Amino acid sequence: MSLFWRIFLLNSVVLVLVTGLLLGPVTVSSPVLPGEAALLVAGLAVVLGVNAFVLRIGLVPLQRLSRAMATVDLLHPGRRPSVTGPPEMADLITTYNAMVDRLERERALSAGRALTAQEGERHRVARELHDEVGQTLTAVLLQLKRLADRSPAALRGEARQAQEATRSSLDEIRRIARQLRPGVLDELGLASALRALAAEFTGHGLTARLESRGPLPLLADDVELVVYRVAQEALTNVARHAGADRVTLSVRATDHGTELLIHDNGKGIGPAEEGAGIRGMRERALLIGASLTLESSEGRGTRVRLWIPSGPASITRRSDEAHV
């Protein structure tokens, strides 16, 4: 029965009952006697109480829908209010759930296109840095070496300094190119890429280590790239904000999926809101149907867990990277 008819029929029953009482044993004198006034006030209180009870029961689904609308987050999919209540409420909740489903699909598609374009641009910039800028600096480095060898002793020191500065710039260019597009991921696979990533972040008081957790499944290219980018962003957050001196990466496979875990011994995230880096990791996880969870407490560091369930995303691709 709809909410309208519930309230209408209840009010009708109450009014018919009151009318019957007034036409029967209950009368109202003029002036009103104290007993009659008390009876009328009690009857009015009963009518109001019954109406309040029916309205509260009938509006519970609407209140639940309001809370769901206020707390909806497309980066945490799957949260839906249950479809209950009168037909109008059930239709409203069903329509809302369908709208959120559509928004999540559209957000995933748009985020996928944006991240694909971002990775393409990173690949182009990395290739140009490596092929154009890197080759130019290499040629300059060779010229400086010949110049240093032929220079007088008084100028040889300055030539050597220019040579070292150029070599440092070349190393920095190569490091930036590796961050933009991890060539080791394409050439040697996920295990080697994560090991190289851990080595890259080891230094300046931070030790990053990759733990072996048995054989890994052969994942599709886009899944491997998401795992690598999540690990890269998590390690970047540790190096910049955690104040940690140790961070551990582990990847393991189960019968139900693949897990990436990054755990540091820093100060934790605290009450601060999630930044762009964490939101970016969540968006990447959603692209491959994975879930990202963070656990943080003061003095015990932060745990970032990426869980990739077994399914169409875990497509076998290579045969030379079965173990970490």
pLDDT band per the 50, 70, 90 thresholds, residue 169: confident
Q: What is the pLDDT of residues 195-234, one digit of tens each?
A: 888 888 887 788 888 887 667 777 888 888 888 888 888 8
228 token code pair: 């690598």
Q: What is the pLDDT of residues 84-93, one digit of tens each?
A: 777 777 888 8
- Residue 23, pLDDT > 70, answer no
Q: Class for domain 189-324, per CATH?
A: alpha beta
Q: Is 108 helix (H, G, I), strand (E, B) or coil?
A: helix
pLDDT in the model for residue 38: 79
pLDDT in the model for residue 321: 40
**Distance (Å, whole) CA 156 – CA 124:** 38
Q: Which of 79-83, 232-236, 317-321 has the lowest mean pLDDT?
A: 317-321
pLDDT in the model for residue 322: 38
pLDDT in the model for residue 2: 65
Could you state, in order of their start, the residue ranges of all structural domains in the chain? 3-105, 189-324
Average pLDDT (168-174) is 82
The pLDDT mean for the chain works out to: 77
Residue 75 is classified by DSSP as T
- Residue 191, pLDDT > 50, answer yes
Listed residue (119, 115, 123) closest to 288, CA to CA: 115
Average pLDDT (66-74) is 75
The whole-angstrom distance between residue 287's C-alpha and the CA centroid of its chain comes to: 11
Residue 250 is classified by DSSP as E
| % of the chain surpassing 90 pLDDT | 0
pLDDT in the model for residue 216: 72
**What are the beta bridge partners of residue 323?**
215
Q: Which of 21-25, 116-120, 150-154, 258-262 has the lowest mean pLDDT?
A: 21-25
**Distance (Å, whole) CA 252 – CA 279:** 24
